[in-house]
Structures are given as structure tokens and as C-alpha cells.
Amino acid sequence: MFKSFDLWLPSYLKRARVRRPKGTPVHLLIAVCDHFEPFHGVGKKEALERVDLWRDAFPKMAAEFKDADSHQPKQTFFYPIEQYDPDILEGLAGLCRGTGCEVEVHLHHENDTEENLRSVLEQGKRDFQAHGLLSTDAGGAVRYGFIHGNWALDNSHPQGRGCGVDRELPILAETGCYADFTMPSAPHPTQTRTINSLYYAKETGAAKSHDLGTPARVGSKSNDLLLIQGPLGLNWHWRKWGVLPRVENGDLTGNNPPTLSRLRVWQDLGIHVAGRPEWVFIKLHTHGGIPRNSGMLLGPAMADFHRLLASLAREEPEFCFHYVSAREMVNILHAAEAGCKGDPGQYRDYVYRSQIARIS
């Protein structure tokens, strides 16, 4: 339980209280970023069955629910490009066309080089584009969101495992990555000292350049790689042995589904663009290709969470929630940086536009 506490607990204890204007609606932007690995422990037949389960069950589960903008729940599938299979990707593309879900880039690699990494990312983009996936910017360039396999972004594992490329951040940016969504990784030793943040990380030439960075803020912009972190803190309402608070890291699992107490922690941590505290960014993560988690994500526990959100929106005048994809979350962040106010849902396509929407 206490592994990696030394990396992030000091930052958590020193955090400043988030202050919002009284009487201002609080907009929760909820993105579920799925490290989607249907081949985990199985062959192609079983992997296809896992994708088919999502294609059948997710639209049925999501159909009952809508957010403040009348969007249904959506999930962003970060699929491992090193496991590319056209049948699997076409199945995911079909799910996306009918639901508003999206697919982004996930990568596991080991002892890699800068040259090979660049080649693998470019090939992965071409593979995904063949299915109408990923997004484009105003100039038509292909853009993607990224999650690093085994949490080892920028060669951040203390023993150098799971990556090998110290200058990974600029390679991601140069190949079209609009943001990284890997963190938090606690209790893994790759966890950064920076927590609960939306920030830009400058490459230092050494491993783990994203350990620190510059916060995203209203009236500012950066050319460095953007990192979108999910919540990391302590949940005092859910204690081990009835005494010790449990770690809250935004991971949705079969044993730890979303609940009211977890939602309040995510909300209280208040991840936001500096100067726009009323827009709260809640980036959650899961491994939805694994049966022990997909059963929860597609079943009653997740449906109950969506009902909880709807109930809170009815009962609390200042509570407003929005289901967003990873791409939409970043678009809203850039809108905040540009000084946009009001309902964040209107900025879902502010910079980057989904290609899947064009062929749906």
C-alpha cells in the first residue's frame, strides 16, 4: 500500500485548497481512459469476443444516461499499437461510430531507441487512420492522445524498465501527440512528484522529465508536451482496517468501482486550469479489456454511478457534469487557456476534431 508514498505524499500534504467563486456552477469533466488490452492473457478468438462484448453491452448500458449537454457516457480506448490487429481495431471503430467513444494510442516497449520509437508511432498512426480513428488539427495534421505502457513514460522506471528512451517527450510531440494521459501511476515507482495537475513538461535530456512542469493557466500556452493527470490522494471515507485511509488514484476496477465517496475525493482534489477552478478535470483510468473489470464497467455498478451523477445534478443546483473523451477534455483545457468561460461542453471540438465523427 505504501509503495511510492515518498514520491507523491509530500506534494499531496502541501496542496493548496481550491477556491471557487460562490454561486458559480461547478462543471465536472469526466473522462474514462481505458488501457484497453483485449489480448491480455488470451489469443485472437478470445480477444475478439472481448471486443464484441463491449460492442454489444456498452451501448445498452449507456443508452439510459445523459449529461448536461445530452451526451451519453463515453470511453476512450487507448489501444496498444504494438498489438495492432485489423479485426480488433475495426471492431473498436464500429463501437466508436455509434457511441461517441474514441480510440487513442497506447504503447508498451522495452530497451527502445529514439529512431525505432518514432517509426513505431508513425506506423501506429497509419494503422489507426485506416479505420477512421484519431483526430486532426486545424491544419489537417493527424493528432493523438497517448498512454505509456507499464507507466514508464520518458524512461521513468528507476531500473530503466519498460521504455529505454530518455528523450521520449519531444518524440511524442513531434509525431503528433496532443497530450499524455499516463499519470497517476501510484503505487508504481514511476509516479511523479507533480500530482493532480494539468501541466506542460519540458524535456531535460534525462529520464522522467515530466516529474515537474509548468501548470496550464488562463492566458498562457506552451509548446511543451501537455500532461493530463488523474486524481491522486487519500480517501478518508474508505479506510483499511477501519483506520488507515486508502489511496485514491482514479483506477476503476471490479473490486473498486466508482462510488459517491470516490467522486467527492475527485471533486475535492479540484484538478483545473489555473484561473478556471470551476471547470474540474476528472481523468479516470481502467483496464477494460480484462473480464474482472469489464463486468463492472458494463454492468450494474457503473450504471449505478451514472444514476448517482444524474441524481446529484437534480439535487445540487451548482453540480453539473459532462461525459468527455480524452480529446474533448484537452480541447476544453485549451479553451480555458484562451479565456473561454461558461459551459465547457461547447468547446469539445475547440482545436482537435475526431476523424471517426466524419465517417459515422
Q: Tens of pLDDT along 109-159?
A: 999 999 999 999 999 999 999 999 999 999 999 999 999 999 999 999 999
pLDDT, tens digit, for every residue of 177-191?
999 999 999 999 999
Burial group, residue 243, by CB count within 10 angstroms (0-12, 13-18, 19+): exposed
CA dihedral 181, 182, 186, 187 (to 10 degrees): 150
pLDDT, tens digit, for every residue of 223-251?
999 999 999 999 888 777 777 888 999 99
| Res 4: pLDDT | 86
What's the mean pLDDT in 12-21? 80
Fold of 5-13+27-359: 7-stranded beta/alpha barrel (3.20.110)
Burial group, residue 115, by CB count within 10 angstroms (0-12, 13-18, 19+): exposed
* Residue appearing with cell numbers 521513468: 156
| Res 2: pLDDT | 45
Instruction: Please enumerate in sequence order all residues whose Cβ is within 8 A of that of 172, keeping only pairs 6 or more positions apart, or say none.
Output: 121, 146, 180, 225
Statement: residue 164 has pLDDT above 90: yes
Give the pLDDT band (50/70/90) at residue 358. Answer: very low
| Res 357: pLDDT | 58
Statement: residue 1 has pLDDT above 70: no
The dihedrals phi and psi of 159, each to the nearest 5 degrees, come to: -100, 10
Cα distances (angstroms) measured from residue 43 to each of 27, 39, 89, 168, 294: 42, 6, 15, 31, 18
What residue segments make up the domains of the chain, in order of their start?
5-13+27-359
pLDDT, tens digit, for every residue of 297-326?
999 999 999 999 999 999 998 999 999 999
| Residue-level length of the chain | 360
Structure pTM? 0.96
CA gap 29, 209 in Å, rounded: 27
CA gap 358, 133 in Å, rounded: 10
pLDDT, tens digit, for every residue of 187-209?
999 999 999 999 999 999 999 99
Give the pLDDT band (50/70/90) at residue 339. Answer: very high
